Structure 1
Amino acid sequence: MSLRLKLGLWVRMAVALVLTVVSVGILLAAEFALAVVVSIFGAFLMQTFGVALLGLAGVVAVCLLSWVAIVAGLRRMTAPGILARRIDSDPVRKAVQRAGQVVWEPPSLRTIGRGIGLLAGPGVGLILCYQLGFVVLGLDPIRFGIAFGAIIVVCYTGWLVYDELRAAGSVRTQLEDEYDLVADSEQEQTLSRRVQRLAAQAGCPVPEVEIGASRLPQAATVGYRPENSIILVSQGLIESLDDEELDAVLAHELAHLLNRDAAVLTALSFPRSKVQGLVDLMYRWDSSDADILLIPLFVVATPLYVVNRLAVPTVARYREYVADRAAAEVTGNPAAMASALSTLDREYAVRSSTDLRVTWSTAAFGVVAPPWEERKFFDRSTRFLYRRILGTHPRTADRIERLRSQIE
């Protein structure tokens, strides 16, 4: 890698990393403040909530047991359905029969006990926690709120990290569906030998290789660690490129693995993931009262989301330049990589119009960006925003120009 390219990458990485760390710090502080306030408020009302739950359990118990007692008495005095049989109108009689079946069959004592336990158990637990913590042990509600708030933030952040790691599996599944994987052992062995040779030249662990039946010329890499990664290659890509171009594209994907681009970009995107997690949490609560609590967080999170959304693609685009140069160095043929990019850009535009299965949600994993769909209004400004500002790939022409400068 040239000094200029390396310097450009590290400057962008440093800026993005600083913005990421600052954004995560601000989000954690905002989440912690909200969690502490809610925890302190909950601590003061803990005993009240417990008594309210016990009272509700008592009311429910009285109502249900009274229902059981009344039905038991009526069954001794009269047979079920006697009122319905005395009604001449058939629709009315059926309605009375249905209502009678519901009223005449109260829940069992076991079901009643389980329902009451679900209300009384948390109530008793809240009262005991309050008595033990604040009466017996003499805990300060403010310290309790700080400790409990910290636990909430740590658990929520840990869950988000776990969800991000788990998302790699769903991305792989989505890509495999898009590529429409086929079993072709002979072709896979041929491609695997190419990858093994290139991996040896690049000093990279050999990833697994799978082939898809898609006619679109695509290649993608999935995985955070090179030894546990997979390279997906479509039949359309194999048909579109000659041997030297195919080697260049495979070397490009190996460079992404060796540079751990997926892991780096996922880490830099963590502030955006936290904001998206808050949005998902708001939809899961489905309560306007609960949503109000998140409004201060969204006021803080919105500008951080925008900054992160602008910073990460800048790094992603530059890492494509790095992968292109690495592929040229591994194969010793910058012209082949430039030719492959030109071919893929052209073939992608031609074949994408006939492949109805393709979705652009996985475009960041491809070698080149998908073709642009023209819009009736504001096409130039929209294209500039989504391709030049928020896009994960540089313009193919710019990548080819950089590769040609290596030849000269």
Structure 2
Amino acid sequence: MGNARTFILMAVMTALLMGLGAMAGGSQGAILALMVAGAGNIWAWWNSDKMVLRQQGAVELSRANAPDLFDLTAALAQRAGLPMPRLYLLETDQPNAFATGRDPQNAAVAVTRGLVAAMSRDELAGVIAHELAHIRHRDTLMMTVTATMAGAIAMLGNMMMFTGGRDNRGGALGGILAMILAPLAAGLVQMAISRAREYEADRLAAEITGQPQALASALARIAQMAGRTVNIPAEKNPASAAMFIINPLHALRMDALFSTHPPTEERINRLMAMRA
């Protein structure tokens, strides 16, 4: 299912990119957009994890400088049937975490300093298990491909705003619509897949730890504290927001309609139902 979702996502977003390319330059523009999409996907496959970690200012951890966190992650990875991922620390007070990497053999888990400080050991285990679940389902590849393609679509939309498309077809209005609607459509595709992905990762994390209530408690606390703390690296790179366990961005209330994360309350209710 993970491979099928990734293929569908890539196909839809490539079609959006080609449609914008055709508006901007006819058949030649569509072909150029297809080439850009292909190159972007190949680049994302090999380099997305390094790019995201660098954007977030991540520092790699080892057993020498974080023995408890390292051993906890190793034990959870073993329970999940995964190789030990690389472990990183994000220097922000906002409690949060994400996973990245093209496959389980090239994966990384990043946790924030605020998460380590605020969570109990059981809550921290639940969060790390959630990220390991994304790795096991190969969701990390889908998220990074989405971020790359959405960035390309937004860039082409911005270009069309100033050029108005081929032979000024559509004029300034066409450019504005391309700039607004194409990234929005890409976001809706990502939202539809991301919400199901989060529920499934919560379920598998509860199975790995055997404590669904601990992850439910962690989600409630992270959501509450994240709303009061600004994650500057995430704000500078909003395309990475879907990768975090809880949305790290301080969006306007009207933007909640297009959130990539399902409601935290519903996630908690499902976890507590597992406990029952």
Using structure 1 for the length normalisation, give the TM-score. Answer: 0.54
| Alignment check: 8 A CA contact 1:220 1:233 kept | yes
Say whether residues 1:306 and 2:187 are aligned partners. Answer: no
Say whether residues 1:401 and 2:275 are aligned partners. Answer: no
Say whether residues 1:156 and 2:24 are aligned partners. Answer: no
Q: Distance in 1 between matches of 2:104 and 2:224?
A: 30
> What does residue range 59-78 of structure 1 map to in structure 2 within 5 Å?
none
- Give the corresponding residue for 1:21: 11
1:279 is displaced (CA, Å) by 3.8
- Give the corresponding residue for 1:329: 207
Change (3 A) 1:218 1:266: closer
Change (3 A) 1:273 1:251: same
- Give the corresponding residue for 2:54: 173
| Alignment check: 8 A CA contact 1:368 1:393 kept | yes
1:358 is displaced (CA, Å) by 5.3
- Give the corresponding residue for 1:122: none
- Give the corresponding residue for 1:316: 194
- Give the corresponding residue for 1:49: none
Change (3 A) 1:369 1:231: same
| Alignment check: 8 A CA contact 2:96 2:245 kept | yes
Q: Per the alignment, in what secondary structure is the counterpart of residue 191 of structure 1?
A: helix
Say whether residues 1:229 and 2:107 are aligned partners. Answer: yes
| Alignment check: 8 A CA contact 1:188 1:210 kept | no
How many residue pairs match? The answer is 267
| Alignment check: 8 A CA contact 1:205 1:226 kept | yes
1:400 is displaced (CA, Å) by 0.7
Change (3 A) 1:275 1:347: closer
Q: Distance in 2 between matches of 1:401 and 1:335?
A: 10
Which consecutive unaligned segments of at least 5 residues does structure 1 have?
1-5, 39-148, 374-381
Amino acid at match of 2:217: S
Structure having the higher helix fraction is: 1
Q: Per the alignment, in what secondary structure is the counterpart of residue 393 of structure 1?
A: coil
| Alignment check: 8 A CA contact 1:245 1:336 kept | yes
Say whether residues 1:253 and 2:131 are aligned partners. Answer: yes
Aligned-residue RMSD, C-alpha: 3.9
Q: Per the alignment, in what secondary structure is the counterpart of residue 87 of structure 2?
A: strand
Q: Per the alignment, in what secondary structure is the counterpart of residue 94 of structure 2?
A: coil
| Alignment check: 8 A CA contact 1:188 1:211 kept | no
| Alignment check: 8 A CA contact 1:317 1:392 kept | yes
Question: Which whole-Å deviations, capped at 9, do the CAs of 1:11-50 have from their partners, x for residues lacking one?
Answer: 9x59x93x86356347547747946579xxxxxxxxxxxx
Amino acid at match of 1:158: G
Instruction: Find the structure with the greater CA-based Rg.
Output: 1
Q: Distance in 1 between matches of 2:196 and 2:69?
A: 28
1:155 is displaced (CA, Å) by 3.7
Change (3 A) 1:295 1:162: farther
Amino acid at match of 1:239: A
Which structure carries more relative contact order (alpha carbon 8 Å, separation 6+)?
2
Which consecutive unaligned segments of at least 5 residues does structure 2 have?
none
Amino acid at match of 2:78: A
- Give the corresponding residue for 1:108: none
Say whether residues 1:243 and 2:121 are aligned partners. Answer: yes
Q: Distance in 1 between matches of 2:37 and 2:168?
A: 16
Q: Per the alignment, in what secondary structure is the counterpart of residue 66 of structure 2?
A: helix
| Alignment check: 8 A CA contact 1:219 1:233 kept | yes
1:184 is displaced (CA, Å) by 7.3
Q: Per the alignment, in what secondary structure is the counterpart of residue 98 of structure 2?
A: strand
| Alignment check: 8 A CA contact 1:223 1:262 kept | yes
Amino acid at match of 1:368: I
1:195 is displaced (CA, Å) by 1.4
Question: Which whole-Å deviations, capped at 9, do the CAs of 1:76-102 have from their partners, x for residues lacking one?
Answer: xxxxxxxxxxxxxxxxxxxxxxxxxxx
Question: Which whole-Å deviations, capped at 9, do the CAs of 1:334-387 have from their partners, x for residues lacking one?
Answer: 11111111222233345x1xx6845432432322223756xxxxxxxx52x422
Q: Distance in 2 between matches of 1:334 and 1:356?
A: 27
- % identity of equivalent residues: 25
- Give the corresponding residue for 1:386: 255
Q: Distance in 1 between matches of 2:3 and 2:103?
A: 21
Using structure 2 for the length normalisation, give the TM-score. Answer: 0.77
Q: Distance in 2 between matches of 1:257 and 1:395?
A: 22
- Give the corresponding residue for 1:128: none
